[in-house]
Amino acid sequence: MEPLTSLKPLLAVLVSLGVVPILISSRSPNVREAWTFGAAGLKFLIVLSMLPAVLEGRELVCTLAQVLPGVAFRLRVDALGMLFALVASSLWITTSAYSIGYMRGLKEHGQTRYFCFFALALSATIGVAFSANLFTLYLFYEMLSFATYPLVTHHQDAKARHSGRKYLLYIVGGSIGLVLPAMVLAYHLSGTLEFSGQGFLPHSGSPILLGVLLFMFLFGFAKAAIMPVHAWLPAAMVAPTPVSALLHAVAVVKVGVFCILRVLTEVFGLDLLASLHLGTAVAYVAAFTIIAASLIALTQDELKRLLAFSTIGQLSYIVLGAALLSPKGLMGGMIHIAMHAFGKITLFFCAGAIFVATGKKNLSEMAGIGKRMPVTMAAFFIGALSIIGIPPGGGFLSKWYLVLGALEADQFPLLVVILVSSLLNAAYFMPIVYRAFFVGSRETTLPDTVSEAPIFCVAPLVVTALISLVLFFYPQPFLDLAELAVQTLIGGTGK
Amino acid sequence: MIWQLDLLILILVVLCGIGAIMIRDLLGTAILFGAYSFMMCLLWAIMGAVDVAFTEASVGAGVSTVFFVATVYHTTRRTKD
Amino acid sequence: MKNLGLLIVVLVGAVLIYATTDFPPFGDPESPASLHVSPRYLENSLEETAVPNVVTSVLVDYRGLDTMFETTVVFAAGVACFLLLRVPRRRTPAPRQYRHRLTGLTFRIKDGGEISLPLQEFEPMESIWTPHDFIIEKVCCYLIPFIQLFGLFVIAHGHHSPGGGFQGGVILGASIILLSLSHDLRTALKRMGEKTSALFSTFGVLIYAGTGALCLLLGYNFLDYQALDPLLPGGPVMARYHGILLVEVGVGMAVMGTMIWIFRNLASRGRHEEGL
Amino acid sequence: MSQYYPALLIAIPLLAALFISASGWLRPALCFPLALTALGGSLLVSLGLLSNVIRGIPDVYLFGGWPPPWGIYYRVDHLSALVLAVVSIVGFVNLIAARPAVEKEFPEKAAPFYTLYVLFVTGLLGMVITGDAFNLYVLLEIAAITGYALIALGKGRAPLSSLHYIFMGTIGACFYLLGVGYLYIITGSLNMEDIARLLPPLYESKVVTVAFVILMVGIWLKMGFFPLHAWLPNAYTHAPSPVSSLVAPLMTKVMVYVMIRMVLTVFTVDYAFLVLKLNDAVVWLAVIAIVAGSLLALAEKDVKRMLTFIVVAEVGYMVGGFWLGNRAGFIGAVLHLVNDALMTLCLFLAVGNIVYAKGNSQWDSLPGLFRTMPWTMGALVVGALSIIGVPPTCGFFSKWYLLLGAIQGGHYGFLAALLFSSLVSVVLFFRIFEISYFEPFGASHGPDHGEDGPAGREAPLGMLVPLWMTALGLVLLGLYTGEIVDRVIRHAVPGMML
Amino acid sequence: MEEVLRLVVERYNYWIYITLMMIGLYALIAKNNLVKKIVGMNIFQTAVILFYVSIGVKKGATIPIIEHNYDMAHQAIRAADYVNPLPHVLMLTAIVVSVATLGVALAITIMVYHRYLTLEEDEILKQIRES
């Protein structure tokens, strides 16, 4: 079907220009945060308004400038991008609410700066989702890297500085050192950077070169935190919790895997990967990351670090799904973007809420917390279910598809990996929940005064937890989108 | 053009040039540089470049030398090499 | 550094000498340089500009733009020396010294006030005092007018003999420099103040560039002196002749002013009180 | 009217410089407005020239009405029109920003300062537009002499650095002159196109080879190409800030232009790339320049001095890109010439603001700057991102073309050097940002973080407006890269590289 | 041998200019005293000028000033009779440029001297390092 020309994608990206009013109204926090909410809501509505057209199988295109021959600064909304944009824009609303509660609760400094860069980061995320070609993708990817730097280092102390360095080293080092040359090489080979369902790289290229190219992309998009380029993620935990939530669930890491999905499916194309057996190679790299990250997570005591390693593992599910090169696997990977997002953000919100309420970061200090903060910990439980993949958590669906995909691709070892890692997930999440609810009041070290965090903190996490549940029963929009996306990818191959 | 004269002046020019940078007195350097310029001016006159020679006589041998002397007057005559 | 310098020098020298083997022989009338562009100047200069001195006609007319910028370079150097060295006039003037001619007594006036002594008996004195040589002073006194006259001649006669605005300007400048060398800086400054020399240098270049712009205004190309035909007598060729003269005067003024300006700033280290 | 543009381009600033000088003695208040009018005028003229060229109107201007090769003529083509526009834009924008600094540092010398400033820009404009090899030398000397004087105006070590610059610059200019002399002795002409016409039968001559080598060495000396760069960092560091933000963006870029012009118009690409076969050697030199420039920058603890080494590295980008000898490399080099002029302008202007507020740009004066001078630092970030090569700032696109050129030419050393220097610039700039963002360390939580840091004030509006104009220009230039390449640079690519 | 001799005799002028140039260049690079360096710079420049003037020389030609009362109607001016004027023109410009450079260089030298009270480069650099 003909693509529609529309300004909506551009608007969706630009809505975050709300930073300007945010900056101007820095003196009055209420107005400032009203602007934030306004922008977030508006962005969600714009994204939503494009959903029907996308579900009909059409694409919305908006070309801004022809920057290089054969490469335009162009936005395009397709099913996969839509799926990601929906997740990101809906989570911005909840995260904004949560940020307000968290930041005010802790009386953080530099809140105006915080909201500005938050908005910018979201803008970049939507931009990545709606990129029509590798150049636009790279542009927004870099924008996101630099917009999140002040967020990660928000505390402006020595530790933040150290983590900021690590963050830049991996993210920017990867994008300039690996992605940029890979991109130029891809352009040199094919003369274009435009995504297409069958991939744009010529099949005639030398296999070694293509293989090198693939791994340059894979590790260059370091935001996906595939081992060994994962070390920035635990380090970035020094950021305020809403930022961690944003990093892990919504924007940064998801952008990383999204980029890799795009590269695998629309730069290389499934056929090319299959013919060169590169899919399997990527799948095993991802599998290694899944297992290793889960094992490391078992040893963590700090809640946020544990969540970080959990994220690293979960991200590789998505990569794994795509690398299976089978329709079901792809679907699983795509849906996992959404499922993991809602689950993981719930968990982070809970960690933040605990910190706001008690000032505790370590698991060992949280025994019995379930009785003091029942709502929070219940939400935590739901989030954990979703991540582990137990019904009625939404994560079950994506894992189900992944397993089907692995079977479809006849990759028995990978099936085992998925199952084992689910067990490991359970092994590191369930003890937390158990200790929160089922230890005697004598063992708890918490003071009696502890109660639930402020309403602005709790409400968002309840909402996200509920959405995780709802997605199990009513995953239709995401399923449809994923199916559409897979169709466009597979359809071209004539299967 | 008388080539003997030409060669003689060429040699003199080189000698003046070397002298100007070797002598251990900046005022001497300035004066030798003036001499160098004057030799150069003669050379150019021999070669038929009268306008250039005229200019060099007034600028190189005249004004430049005065500039050098003024500078040496305000700085020092001392030099190590 | 010495060895490095020697190495570079030998290397560069070798490369340059290497190329000379392919040069046309020295003084060869058949060399490309003598055959390609320059013959036209020699053959047509008299006809096109009525200037027998080909160097002048090429300098100011055929390649007039170069010369305009050359004058600008001199002007820029003058401004540069002024910018770098000139010390703005102090609130409290430096102490001055006067010497009684007959007795050799010296007076030092601290606040820079004027003295009410009979001036002819006293002479201003510099801090490093050297007795004025009467012979030099007087000879220069008589020489300077002739030097200046010669300078003017060189400027005006540049069309027919070696010389022109630049050489004449330097000579004129040198005459004033000679004055400050033989007497002292103050005397020369009284004859020609700093502002005068600076404005001379500015307006000299202005005459040149202005002539060019005038040609532009009259509908011809920049520096096409033919445009001056309606303003000057003698037809288009003579217009070039006169245009060249006009420009030479500008060059002379500019160079004279600048040379004096630079010399003063160098000689007095920008104080314009005493110096060489 | 438009046929007079080339003459007006030079005449307006030249006459204005004279009027400024005169008004310094007669009516000092007029100096700045005159300078502004002059550079504004030449900016308009150069934009007019650019639009003429885009519309395909050839612009050849015969001075004195004499036809070439006897007279001097100015010739505007796509390449020179583009560089003219850049030079006049940088000159104009920087002039606006210069005023507060001039009034603060040397108010009594404003008139000679503006005179030399305008003459410097005149010299550069002339160098770009002229079609005569010797005329270029004279203009080069105008730009050089004014540059020496302006640089020597700085504090501390500036005069000594300027003196070194004079020595090196004179050697460079004399080598250039000598090279032109070698060409003259063998062809008998000084007009660039005429020389190009006469050269082909002489390609085998040693004189032409040596002339080429001397010319290149002279030009490289002037542009600060790596082993010959020794004068550059000191001169640019110690110059007063309005001067370094004028000289640093323009001088090296215009010399790169001169190099391109010499190879393109005088010797022709066929000679340079096919007969001499120097490409690989020069590209390797450029690789060394880029790597060395980046590494030397790492060692500096003064922002301004660090920037000067970045300039050295960027020169390597352009020289290397050009000598790759393919289309993408050429486009990259020319585009980078344009972009880098604006990028360095932006960075030096920002540093100028810091110097204005703090007195110097050492690391000691950086802490707390993001709080006290947010606008300046914001522009510095934009400039830095452009140097690093982050889209959509213009730096990305030129780097893109250079990388593409390196890949197409199979020159992976150059590719690696470019990436290395990009990564090093990330380190360089984020070190600065870290200091000014994190330090002084305060409480990590709470509302009054960092309030006890050093007090400071944002630079005056007169400096911020040009700075932000430049910073926004970087982004706009990036977005319009396609247009610029398509309408201008594409037409300048020599046939051999297509 | 004769060949070599001819090469020398025909081009010794060029060689002398190269010698002078190298003297200047050496002084510029290796001399320690700033004024010496400036002298070297000027020698370097005059050497280039000498080179240009040498280009203009023609055997058997006179200075480029057309005789007075030249009868243009009867005989055309022969270019071979006059020395090539173009290099002279260029060198007039070059001399002026060199004196301008000299002025600026000397002005800066005076500034340097009054800051460091010496003209020796190594002593100046030592002072800078120590401060």
CA angle in degrees (0–180, nearest 5) for A13-A14-A19: 120
- Facing A142 at nearest CB: one of D391, D444, D478: D391
- Does E129 lie at the interface with C, CB-CB under 8 angstroms? no
Q: What would the pLDDT profile of C140-157 be if each residue is shown by its tens digit?
A: 889 999 999 999 999 988
User: Dihedral, CA atoms, D337, D342, D347, D351, nearest 10 degrees?
Assistant: 120
Size of interface C-D (CB pairs under 8 A): 172
- Does E33 lie at the interface with B, CB-CB under 8 angstroms? yes
Closest CA to D202 of D214, D184, D190: D184
First to last CA, chain D: 35
Half-sphere exposure of A76 (CA within 13 A, CB side): 22
- Facing B71 at nearest CB: one of E54, E91, E110: E110
Q: What would the pLDDT profile of A181-219 be if each residue is shown by its tens digit?
A: 999 888 888 888 888 877 888 877 788 888 888 888 888
- Mean pLDDT across D145-174: 91
CA distance A414 to A407: 9
pLDDT for the residue numbered E7: 67
Is pLDDT larger for residue A450 or for residue A278? A278
pLDDT for the residue numbered C118: 63
pLDDT for the residue numbered D450: 46
Domain membership flag for residue C203: yes
Q: Give the domain range for residue C86.
A: 43-91+130-267
Over 60: is that where the pLDDT of D454 sits? no
Rounded to the nearest 10 degrees, the angle between the axes of helix D158-187 and helix D231-238 is: 130
Domain ranges of chain E: 2-64+75-130
Over 50: is that where the pLDDT of D432 sits? yes
Pick the range with the lowest mean pLDDT from C142-146, C161-165, D332-336, D377-381: C161-165
Q: Are A317 and A387 in contact (CB under 8 A)?
A: no
pLDDT for the residue numbered C148: 92
Six token digits for residue A110: 């530099």
Kindly list the residues from chain B whose CB atom is less than 8 angstroms away from the CB atom of residue C171: 58
CA distance A309 to A396: 20
Q: What is the dotted CATH code of the domain comprising E2-64+75-130? A: 1.10.287.3510
CA distance D310 to D323: 20
Over 60: is that where the pLDDT of B1 sits? no
Strands of D286-338, DSSP E: none
Q: Are D306 and D366 in contact (CB under 8 A)?
A: no
Is pLDDT larger for residue D3 or for residue A80? A80
pLDDT for the residue numbered D445: 46
Q: What would the pLDDT profile of E47-89 be if each residue is shown by its tens digit?
A: 999 888 888 888 877 888 887 666 665 667 777 788 888 889 9
- Facing A68 at nearest CB: one of D441, D446, D482: D482
pLDDT for the residue numbered E102: 93
Beta carbons of C170 and B67 less than 8 Å apart: no
Kindly list the residues from chain D whose CB atom is less than 8 angstroms away from the CB atom of residue C37: 69-70, 188-190, 194
- Facing B75 at nearest CB: one of E27, E62, E113: E113
- Does C74 lie at the interface with E, CB-CB under 8 angstroms? yes
B55 to chain C, closest Cα gap in Å: 5
Rounded to the nearest integer, the mean pLDDT of chain E is 84
Kindly list the residues from chain D whose CB atom is less than 8 angstroms away from the CB atom of residue E34: 163
- Facing B70 at nearest CB: one of C53, C163, C266: C266
Q: What would the pLDDT profile of C183-237 be if each residue is shown by its tens digit?
A: 777 778 888 888 888 999 999 999 999 998 888 888 888 888 888 888 877 788 8
Kindly list the residues from chain E whose CB atom is less than 8 angstroms away from the CB atom of residue C59: 89, 92
Over 70: is that where the pLDDT of A443 sits? no
pLDDT for the residue numbered D418: 92
Over 50: is that where the pLDDT of D104 sits? yes
- Mean pLDDT across D323-340: 90
Kindly state the greatest CA–CA separation across chain A: 71
pLDDT for the residue numbered D444: 46
pLDDT for the residue numbered C58: 87
Domain membership flag for residue C171: yes
Read off the pLDDT band of C34 (50, 70, 90). confident
CA distance A427 to A298: 7
Over 70: is that where the pLDDT of A47 sits? yes
Query: Best-predicted range by mean pLDDT among A12-21, A363-372, A394-403?
Result: A394-403
Give Cα E49 distance to the centre of its chain: 4
D57 Ramachandran zone, left/alpha/beta (phi>0; psi -120 to 50): beta
Q: What would the pLDDT profile of D49-80 be if each residue is shown by its tens digit?
A: 999 888 887 778 888 888 888 888 888 888 99
pTM for the model stands at: 0.92
Q: Strand pairing of C122-125 and A4-5?
A: unpaired
Over 50: is that where the pLDDT of A37 sits? yes
Six token digits for residue B55: 């200019």
Rounded to the nearest integer, the mean pLDDT of chain D is 88
- Mean pLDDT across B47-73: 89
Read off the pLDDT band of C129 (50, 70, 90). low
Read off the pLDDT band of D115 (50, 70, 90). very high
- Mean pLDDT across D467-477: 91
Rounded to the nearest integer, the mean pLDDT of chain A is 83
**D133-136 — which CB contacts under 8 Å span 24+ positions?**
D133/D180, D133/D183, D133/D190, D133/D191, D133/D192, D133/D195, D133/D266, D134/C63, D134/C66, D134/D180, D134/D190, D134/E90, D134/E93, D135/C63, D135/C65, D135/C66, D135/C69, D135/D72, D136/D176, D136/D258
| C146: exposed, middle or buried (Cβ count in 10 Å: 0-12, 13-18, 19+) | exposed
pLDDT for the residue numbered A494: 38
Pick the residue from chain C with its C-alpha nearest to B81.
Answer: C2
pLDDT for the residue numbered C268: 84
D405 to chain A, closest Cα gap in Å: 9
Over 60: is that where the pLDDT of A492 sits? no
Read off the pLDDT band of A493 (50, 70, 90). very low
Residue ranges of alpha helices (H) inside A202-302 are 207-220, 232-235, 241-245, 252-262, 270-276, 278-298
- List beta partners, residue A71: A68
Q: Are D13 and D28 in contact (CB under 8 A)?
A: no
Rounded to the nearest integer, the mean pLDDT of chain B is 87
Percent residues over pLDDT 70 in chain D: 96
Give Cα A468 distance to the centre of its chain: 15
Kindly list the residues from chain D whose CB atom is less than 8 angstroms away from the CB atom of residue A176: 388-389, 419, 422-423, 426
Q: How many domains does chain C have?
A: 1
- Does B76 lie at the interface with C, CB-CB under 8 angstroms? no
Read off the pLDDT band of A305 (50, 70, 90). confident
Is pLDDT larger for residue D250 or for residue C107? D250
- Mean pLDDT across A458-468: 86
Six token digits for residue A293: 């990250």
- Does C221 lie at the interface with D, CB-CB under 8 angstroms? yes
pLDDT for the residue numbered D453: 52
Read off the pLDDT band of D172 (50, 70, 90). very high
Read off the pLDDT band of C135 (50, 70, 90). confident
Kindly list the residues from chain E whose CB atom is less than 8 angstroms away from the CB atom of residue B49: 53, 56, 63, 83, 87-88, 91
Instruction: Collapse the DSSP code of D209 into the 3-class scheme (helix H, G, I; strand E, B; otherwise coil) and give the result.
Output: helix
- Facing D450 at nearest CB: one of A139, A156, A187: A156
CA distance A243 to A111: 12
Beta carbons of C167 and B70 less than 8 Å apart: no
CA distance A156 to A119: 20
Pick the range with the lowest mean pLDDT from A103-117, D163-177, D408-422, E91-105: A103-117
pLDDT for the residue numbered E10: 67
pLDDT for the residue numbered D348: 93
pLDDT for the residue numbered D446: 45
- Does E6 lie at the interface with B, CB-CB under 8 angstroms? no
- Facing C276 at nearest CB: one of B59, B62, B70: B70
Beta carbons of C13 and E30 less than 8 Å apart: no
pLDDT for the residue numbered D417: 93
Kindly list the residues from chain D whose CB atom is less than 8 angstroms away from the CB atom of residue C199: 22, 25
Question: For chain B, which chains pass the contact test of at least 3 CB pairs under 8 Å?
Answer: C, E
Evaluate whether chains B and D are touching (3 or more beta carbon pairs less than 8 Å apart): no
Over 90: is that where the pLDDT of B78 sits? no
Is pLDDT larger for residue B71 or for residue C129? B71
CA distance D265 to D261: 5
CA distance C30 to C12: 28
pLDDT for the residue numbered A339: 87
Q: Are A394 and A386 in contact (CB under 8 A)?
A: yes
- List beta partners, residue C97: C108, C125
Six token digits for residue C255: 């160079």
Best E10, E25, E50 residue to mutate vs chain B (most B CBs within 10 Å): E50
Position C107, amino acid: F
Enumerate residues 112 to 141 of chain C having a beta carbon within 8 A of any beta carbon in chain E. none
A446 Ramachandran zone, left/alpha/beta (phi>0; psi -120 to 50): beta
